[in-house]
């Protein structure tokens, strides 16, 4: 909260110097307060009604929620009337409505509920894959390993059809799962069995998918949705560079400030009518243009303070590895658009705080007895 308040300094400074007031930060700060209080309520209710409720159960619930949203997105694509109804009852902002109107007729991607679409759909799907990777790293039972692997595969595939940024989470998650224990080149017998099952299911699914498309549904390669989701593979198969229209367009968005004042305190603008300020959606650049490098650094301080606090509660190598993977995920996604996973961190932090307080209270009751 102190870091959020400190962000008011560069925001106020750029307002005074540039004479421009963009309310984005006020909206962002209000959103953080709602996420923080909502996470507290959700954890409190979960501890009350779900026994036992721990970090593993929290991660599993989030994974199920994302998987169900992805499933609904797939069903909505198959059933256009349902999709029209679900999108009509949602309150999208002007930019999201414009994008939806532009893309819906093209029929080339899936749309989830709420923010679970476009870039944020990829962020949510990708981050849930890191949660699944954490659980898989700790799992030793064969059936549960298989179930988590299938969930990982389902979210990765369906998330790819929502937003291809899901690939970032899938790549980091796969490396996370297969990485040797304790940063050494040694594997336990349980880890070898887990990794073998994970790789076997992954390869079998990929081979089966390619065979099915080539021999049973060859016409699918000409569909817009397959062309969108598998553009990396299609262009590579055709001998083109490993890129997509989206990555080509992203390169044009790297428009660097040409003023030292912009670098230092920003221009005070985040959005403009009908689009992004300076026509860039790159997370780092949007922050620099809004409140300069100073504000951008404070923005990341908020997230790394959360990571440090969570690490203080969970002195566990599995959690440490997960937090490191989360930091890498956020830093990479900001190369594409503005990204944070604070809402997830709030859930983890409140769970640790409330369970600590319960333990202290129980200990005091024991002493009194």
- The pLDDT tens digits of the residues spanning 7-52 come to 788 888 888 888 888 888 888 888 888 999 999 999 999 999 998 8
What's phi and psi for 276, nearest 5 deg? -100, 150
| Whether pLDDT at 118 is above 80 | yes
Give the tens place of pLDDT for each residue, 194-234: 777 888 888 888 788 777 767 766 665 566 677 666 676 66
Question: Where in the chain does DSSP place strands (E)?
Answer: 271-272, 275-276
Residue in the block written with tokens 């064969």: 142
How many whole angstroms separate alpha carbon 366 and alpha carbon 360?
10
- 213 exposure class (CB count in 10 Å sphere: 0-12, 13-18, 19+): middle
According to the model, what pLDDT value does residue 206 have? Answer: 77
What sections of 105-244 are H helices per DSSP? 118-138, 142-162, 166-178, 189-211, 224-229, 231-237
Q: How many CA atoms lie within 13 A of 248 on its CB side?
A: 9
The closest alpha carbon to 278, from 255, 260, 251, 252, belongs to 255
- Candidates 36, 157, 27, 45; CA nearest to 93 is 27
What is the per-residue pLDDT for 234?
Answer: 66
The values of phi and psi at residue 272, to 5°, are -130, 160
What value does the mean pLDDT of the chain take?
85
The C-alpha atoms of residue 271 and residue 278 are separated, in whole angstroms, by 9
Model-wide pTM > 0.75: yes
Q: Residue 345: which H helix or E strand, with range?
A: helix 342-368
DSSP state of 188: -
At 107, give phi and psi (nearest 5°): 60, 50
Tell me what pLDDT residue 247 has.
72
Terminal Cα-to-Cα distance of the chain (whole angstroms)? 38
């Amino acid at each position: 909260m102190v870091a959020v308040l400190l962000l008011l300094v560069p925001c106020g400074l750029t307002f005074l110097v540039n004479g421009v007031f963009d309310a984005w930060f006020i909206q962002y700060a209000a959103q953080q307060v709602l996420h923080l209080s909502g996470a507290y309520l959700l954890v409190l209710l979960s501890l009350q009604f779900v026994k036992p409720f721990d970090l593993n159960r929290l991660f599993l619930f989030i994974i199920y929620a994302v998987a169900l949203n992805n499933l609904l997105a797939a069903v909505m694509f198959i059933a256009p009337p349902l999709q029209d109804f679900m999108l009509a009852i949602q309150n999208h902002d002007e930019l999201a409505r414009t994008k939806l109107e532009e893309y819906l007729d093209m029929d080339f991607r899936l749309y989830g509920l709420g923010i679970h679409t476009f870039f944020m759909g990829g962020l949510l799907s990708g981050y849930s894959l890191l949660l699944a990777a954490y659980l898989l790293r700790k799992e030793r039972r064969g059936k549960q390993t298989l179930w988590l692997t299938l969930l990982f595969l389902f979210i990765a595939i369906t998330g790819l059809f929502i937003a291809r940024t899901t690939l970032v989470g899938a790549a980091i998650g796969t490396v996370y799962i297969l990485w040797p224990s304790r940063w050494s080149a040694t594997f336990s017998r349980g880890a070898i069995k887990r990794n073998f099952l994970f790789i076997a299911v992954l390869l079998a699914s990929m081979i089966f998918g390619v065979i099915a498309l080539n021999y049973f549904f060859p016409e699918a390669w000409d569909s817009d949705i397959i062309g969108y989701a598998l553009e990396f593979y299609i262009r590579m198969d055709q001998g083109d560079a490993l890129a997509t229209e989206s990555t080509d367009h992203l390169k044009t968005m790297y428009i660097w400030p040409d003023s030292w004042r912009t670098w230092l305190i920003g221009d005070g603008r985040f959005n403009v009518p009908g689009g992004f300020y300076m026509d860039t959606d790159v997370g780092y650049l949007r922050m620099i243009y809004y409140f300069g490098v100073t504000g951008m650094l404070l923005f990341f301080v908020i997230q790394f303070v959360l990571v440090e606090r969570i690490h203080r509660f969970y002195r566990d190598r599995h959690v440490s590895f997960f937090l490191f993977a989360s930091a890498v995920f956020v830093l990479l996604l900001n190369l594409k658009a503005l990204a944070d996973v604070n809402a997830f961190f709030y859930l983890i932090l409140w769970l640790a705080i409330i369970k600590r307080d319960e333990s202290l209270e129980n200990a005091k009751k024991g002493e009194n007895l």
